[in-house]
Structure 1
């Protein structure tokens, strides 16, 4: 029985009991019961019904409330785990991947100056991972709060990291700060960074373009395109591909349209090759 139905039964049971008693009393029992006796029996009957039926309904109501509380607690725990997974993936996981790329670069470096430069990059990346871990631990120990980010700094830092790995990145950002709320900035930057990282990991691309433009009122459109080998969209959303699913989840949370598609003939920049990630907010 639903929570709402239980509340209505508890509310109406005493009223319906007394109404039924008065009906039976005046239609069937009036020749046998005096008015005084009938009035005296009314509260007794109500108390008897309450002791039998309503106590059972109250227990059912308490059980339903306990179930709802457990469900809410489980949902809150799942959301916290999902948020933690996002933070680990967006920060630590990506940094560790870049660390592995730089280790490969160091392994094949023959020029001592190049090796020294790569070693410096490794130290900076390790420090970045260390800072991310400390920040994640601090966030878990403190109450949730809105994240303040320096607009576009994360994307520019990611572009610089990717260019160090040999991927040419073009930024064409025509979206002003004032058009997005703080939460929209956080979610959009996370999607863009993930799309950029996926292009480096899986596409085998040599060039990457990030574009964002404002539309009417509060609308905007953002695309991340590469000139790599491309990918089957169905495989991108397969089980175990957390990056694309997290991008999709972030966009859905904000009510944005999200799509991942192979580049077509209209994508002249990449010569029709590669993959395009699109995020769009309608005005």
Structure 2
């Protein structure tokens, strides 16, 4: 029943009840019911109708009003999140991209000089900030799940959103619904998965990508696998490849284990944690 229908019923039910009672009283009950008794019975009947029917309608009206207010508040919050995401993308994100281009140009011009290491540190910082901004934009554009206990479902949905934004053809197998993550753990885990998928898209030349999460009584783990060209040499020492280093640092800061196995035709990045 709609909000408008409930209001009309609250208005009409007492009127129809009194009118129907007065008609029955004057047409059929006059020989059996005195005028004073009928006058006393009228408010009693209205009270009984109010207690039974109108109280239920009022509860329905309050529920409908609360739902409308919640929907309005959710819409306002989503509009504010989307506006903030657009501002971050159009302002800070583009400025960071321009700064990244300029630092890359400066790095090439200063290669072999005493300032090369300083430029590398600046490039690393710019890359980290750009990663955080992309993550913030993704989180702002993500619509939370309305489930009663949405933690695990929301985390899986965010992983699906990351895959759609980075490597849409990737396959996802997510079996961490029974593992509880804190808010910070969720943010860091999503950032690691996003960075791994971005590396696959930029460098792997892969035709098959898989994101697999599993757990047992002793540990949980998340794997990002691809069949690309692999990584030549130590990926932690390669120039201009800060993503894996940052991912490893994130995992270590959270007390997780970071593993990377790469060869031509197969690369797997694993983040795992022993369960206490």
Superposed pair shares fold, TM > 0.5: no
User: TM-score, normalized by length of structure 2?
Assistant: 0.44
